[in-house]
Structure 1
Amino acid sequence: MINMTVNGRAVSLDADPDMPLLWAVREELQLTGAKFGCGAAQCGACTMHVAGAPVRACMTPISSVQGPVTTIEGIASDKVGQAVQAAWVAHDVAQCGYCQSGQVMSAVALLKANKKPTDAQIDEAMAGNICRCGTYTRIRAAIHAAAAQLA
């Protein structure tokens, strides 16, 4: 039995300890906001926070999770999460939308660590998230807007 906290709720999973966090959250807990992209921790579509840090959930075994897990569903009540989501809408960031939960989770982690990131810092923090639609300019603008809203 694996015990963890997901979005502030204690959960027990009767699952293989090697099961990736992504599948535990999606299949066992029915939180489907994070997406499966590449399966090799290269695209960022599966990004979640573990103990506040962004992780690629497709390659993170549930047995290695140390600290609370936050998914895209869990940031709805978070001040930074709300600001990022509002900026995403205001800047019309999403096109197909597939990568967006991972993009948002990386942006939230960035803004929690750095209240006023530069373009270079945004690019570095977001480098592990791939957007096939190429909305990188809008992503950067939305992060700057969220930072300004939070200031």
Structure 2
Amino acid sequence: MDEVKGKVCVTGAANEKKLAHLLRLQLVRSDLMDDDSFNNAIMGCEGVFHTASPVIKPSFDPKASSFLPFLIFNETIAFFYVARIRQLNTEILEPAVKGTVNVLRSYKKNPYLRRVVLTSSSSTVRARDDFEFKIPLDESSWSSIQLCETLQVT
């Protein structure tokens, strides 16, 4: 793998003691869709936080390739722009699932790894059809299954 150099912005950087552990981090490039991309990245690690998930920048331009289903919420109204629904599957769902499976396959190849922490997508709480929009959303705030089925986003 080629060495990649970049910068990471850390807020609250005034307290160097609290940030000293970050200097031990090694950044490694991986690809969600590459079956073996995570093998070297997690080898020797005891824990992995899998937070990667593909996202698409919403666009109001129907000619833009990123014009996909997305939700805009205010307190009482949800507007649904559903266009090219099949792209949701190929650009979001399939890479998210394949990326997670690839991390878990790499996990099985690493004898040192004891724990994988998998974060969920915010999509699990965003599609809501109730008028009591709850802020902040928490572990009891799930998307409406009926609404997702109606919109064919399940």
Q: Which has the higher helix share?
A: 1
